[in-house]
Amino acid sequence: MKIKNILNIGVTVLGAFALISCNNSRDYSSSSRATGWDLSGKKGGLEYKTDYESKEPAPGLVFVEGGTFTMGRVQDDVMHDWNNSPTQQHVQSFYMDETEVTNLMYLEYLNYLKEVYPPSEERYANIYKGALPDTLVWRNPLGFLENMVNNYLRHPAYQNYPVVGVNWIQATEFSKWRTDRVNEKIAADEGYVARDAYRNASAESNFTTDTYLNAPSQVYGGNDSITRAGKQTQRKLNRKNSDSTNIYVQKKDGVFYPEYRLPTEAEWEYAAVAQTSVRDYNSYKGRKKYPWDGEYTRSSKRKTLGDQKANFKQGVGDYGGIAGWSDDGADITTEVKSYEPNDYGLYDMAGNVAEWVADVYRPRVDVEFNDFNYYRGNVYTKNAIGKDGKVEILGADDVVYDTLSDGKIIARNLPGEIKKVGIDEKETYLRTNFSRSNNKNFRDGDKASSRYFKQSGSNNSDNKMYNSPEHEVTAANGKLDRKYDESNSRTTLIDDSVRVYKGGSWRDRAYWLDPAQRRYFPQDMATDFIGFRNAMSKTGSKTFKGRKTRN
């Protein structure tokens, strides 16, 4: 009898503890911790994504977990450039293209532009032409390379080779296009717009991510039959007022990916060096010479012993080695994934082609001011607001072009995009973190390259930091007038339009395979050895759910 009573008491106590436990672990996932209001939107109230988890990497990208590393040269400074002193930096987690952007990927871009903005129409002619890679970069006065000029971009034999002949501006415009195409397909696949909307675009009816998030009723030229034709949208219309903006995807829903972009110099170098294989707890002093372990360019593994780990110029007249065993398998570029990836799963972070990064080049990296996500080149803008209080959307005749120093015309803003303007004193007044829209020259103190900077008696009246050539291109009566700067007083080639490129290429010696090496090139010029790959910022936590700290 006593045993039975004890068991009853035990069951009662356990039940009480379970009840208390349930009360203490109340699920707040659908109610506000601030007000207690329902956030599920089921009763017509506010709707928020309270159970959001990180999205899978966007197409083509792999995850790079951020951390601290030594940015800059840790080997001997053979070139004596003094532009790459080691600095300790921290990089946030991000995503990066598994491979360099290939010819096939870029041809998708060209075909889209050709279909949506037919070059046969005069007002659109420069959109397609401005995006075309410069295939003439292959020519050499003392070399026969017409095969590359005629076939490298479009022949299927080269479709998985990295695209070249693309300048920094073209690479940036491709990144914008890629962002919109990926997010537009998501909107269609998940039922927020018409299923095949992304297959039927035109100059008057197209999609940009920025426009959809800020003025959703104006994408696709304001065609409601497209923006309200998805299954998800129809469900919302059935339970909400049809005039409600909640029927559209908003940033708080976490449906779209952030923008594809060029990686910053710090991100690129961090991803290339991939210190995960040599990091011992908090040892991040930088001991890797190449994106792979070891001091040599040949494999030491038993199965691949002696094989080159990248394609590069091994000496005068030696772009691959003697045919056969010691050959690296390529004389120019080669198909992506031809060599082993680094520890982040990234291919060709040395060899194949060098790559554009986002940064404006300066010899000096100002670690004293910032050592977190370092980047030089910030130009802050905002959406242009019209007299009606709404964002200004560019129409079919409002394409914004940029005339480059060589006379090439490139479209920088296409129809359907939101017009951007620089920030003004309203955004900068009494701020402590930034004070102007264009910050390319912020804390630029490289006096070695500024011979006349702010000196009395200087002929340089505007006191520019860099006395670089100023080539002029003007348009009049449909013709371009090019004026080459023949001044003998120029002291440098550095200006606000030169960008950093990283990594050794098929044309480079092994010295340049070191991820820390940095060089610069005008942003509006292209070569046969510079390509690019995209990156994307990671939203949310540094690591993925389930990752635990080791003690």
Burial track 333-355 (b if 16+ CB lie within 10 A, e otherwise): bbbbebbebbbbebbbbbbbbbb
d(CA 299, CA 204): 54
Q: Report yes or no: 380 and 434 within 8 Å, Cβ to Cβ.
A: yes
Largest CA distance in the chain: 110
Q: Is the pLDDT of residue 193 over 80?
A: yes
CA of 136: how far to CAs of 148, 153, 159, 527, in Å?
Answer: 9, 11, 18, 9
Domain around 389: 382-403+411-438
d(CA 343, CA 341): 7
- Average pLDDT estimate for 260-285: 80
Greatest mean pLDDT among 129-143, 245-259, 400-414 lies in: 129-143
User: Is 49 or 69 the better-scoring residue by pLDDT?
Assistant: 69
d(CA 337, CA 335): 6
- Average pLDDT estimate for 364-381: 91
Q: Are residues 179 and 86 in the same domain?
A: yes
> CA angle, corner 492, sides to 490 and 496, nearest 5?
110
pLDDT at 24: 46
Dihedral of CA atoms 121, 125, 131, 135 in degrees, nearest 10, equals 110
d(CA 480, CA 406): 10
Q: Are residues 476 and 518 in the same domain?
A: no
Q: Are residues 325 and 470 in the same domain?
A: no
Q: Are residues 335 and 476 in the same domain?
A: no
- Average pLDDT estimate for 147-166: 97
Q: Are residues 264 and 139 in the same domain?
A: yes
In this structure, is residue 184 part of a structural domain? yes
Domain count, the chain: 3
Element (H, E) at 14: helix 2-24
Question: In the 8-state DSSP scheme, what is residue 199?
Answer: G
Q: Are residues 363 and 268 in the same domain?
A: yes
User: Long-range CB contacts (< 8 A, 24+ apart) of 229-235?
Assistant: 229/193, 229/194, 229/195, 229/197, 230/187, 230/188, 230/190, 230/191, 230/192, 230/193, 230/194, 230/195, 231/191, 232/190, 232/191, 232/192, 233/191, 233/192, 233/193
Dihedral of CA atoms 456, 458, 461, 463 in degrees, nearest 10, equals -80
Q: Are residues 108 and 67 in the same domain?
A: yes
In this structure, is residue 361 part of a structural domain? yes
For 491-528, write each residue's pLDDT tens digit: 888 999 999 999 999 999 988 999 999 999 999 999 99
Residues 6+ apart with CB under 8 A from 432: none
Q: Are residues 415 and 348 in the same domain?
A: no
Q: Are residues 136 and 267 in the same domain?
A: yes
d(CA 255, CA 186): 8
- Average pLDDT estimate for 348-375: 93
In this structure, is residue 420 part of a structural domain? yes
Q: Is the pTM of this model over 0.85?
A: yes
- Which two structure tokens, joined as six digits, stand for 117? 């903005």
pLDDT at 482: 84
Q: Are residues 182 and 99 in the same domain?
A: yes
Q: Is the pLDDT of residue 453 over 70?
A: no
